[in-house]
Structure 1
Amino acid sequence: MTCPQLEELDLLHSHICQAMGDPKRILILYALHEQPRHVTALADDLGLPQPTVSRHLRILRQRALVTTQRDGPAVVYRLVDDRMIHVLDEMRQVLRDVMARQSEILS
């Protein structure tokens, strides 16, 4: 893969990285990967206040990371692209590896 251009990195940062700027949004993505949910079910499952979840969902929706579908009077949220979870899993593995190396250096 070639080195990305600065413009592409600016887009990546503003579109994706800033959306991942709050751990609650990452948690929401993982929950929606398990199954699509209504905002109240999502809030209950995550133990977060519903207004907080709604605010984070709005940001994720603005970044096109989640989408909505009507279910009668309710709105169901779903993850747009499962690759996002794979990326997050890879980042978590990198973090584990870095922490393990740091632990070895300190011991």
Structure 2
Amino acid sequence: MEGLSELALNHVAQYFSALSEPTRLKILNNLRDGEKNVGDLASACDCSQANVSRHLSTLAKHGMVVREGRGTAVYYRIADESIYALCDLVCGNVARQLESQASLLGGLQAKK
């Protein structure tokens, strides 16, 4: 982050903000396997199509997904696969923290 302007830092914060919603993370994860339409994503995420469309709009606004219309169907795909490296890094860190907390909690309960 060193050397980034205030404007650039604001863009980075907005980018991370787009990732701060669980449904958007589910959508991104479901797009790992390839492009999907709103109906497929709604079913996979157990959400309404309107809700998924709203989240896809946010992800597209931040350049995370690309929308492609084909006839009457619209398909979404990941714009840049590096989003998965970022998500996997963060998810791995969170998983390790949760394991550590569970281990610590288990150790405390064993002492009782």
TM-score, normalised to structure 2, is 0.82
Long gaps (5+) in structure 1? none
Distance 1:104 1:42, change over 3 A: closer
The one-letter amino acid paired with 2:13 is H
CA–CA distance in 1 between the matches of 2:92 and 2:45? 23
C-alpha deviation, 1:40, in angstroms = 1.1
The one-letter amino acid paired with 2:81 is D
Percent of residue pairs identical: 27
Q: Which residue of 1 aligns with 2:100?
A: 101
The number of aligned residues is 105
Q: Which residue of 1 aligns with 2:10?
A: 10
Q: Which residue of 2 aligns with 1:87?
A: 86
CA–CA distance in 2 between the matches of 1:100 and 1:46? 26
Q: Which residue of 2 aligns with 1:70?
A: 69
C-alpha deviation, 1:60, in angstroms = 0.6
CA–CA distance in 2 between the matches of 1:4 and 1:102? 35
TM-score, normalised to structure 1, is 0.86
Deviations 1:48-88 (CA, angstroms, capped at 9, x unpaired): 11110011001111111111112211111111011101111
For the aligned residue pairs, the C-alpha RMSD in angstroms reads 1.8
CA–CA distance in 2 between the matches of 1:104 and 1:3? 36
Task: Answer with 1 or 2: which has the greater Rg.
Answer: 2
Q: Which runs of 4+ in 1 moved over 3 A?
A: 2-6, 103-106
C-alpha deviation, 1:95, in angstroms = 0.8
SS in 2 for 1:18: helix
Q: Which residue of 2 aligns with 1:53?
A: 52
Distance 1:41 1:104, change over 3 A: closer
The one-letter amino acid paired with 1:92 is C
C-alpha deviation, 1:103, in angstroms = 3.3
Q: Tell me which of the two structures has the higher relative contact order, counting C-alpha pairs closer than 8 angstroms and 6 or more residues apart.
A: 1
Long gaps (5+) in structure 2? 108-112
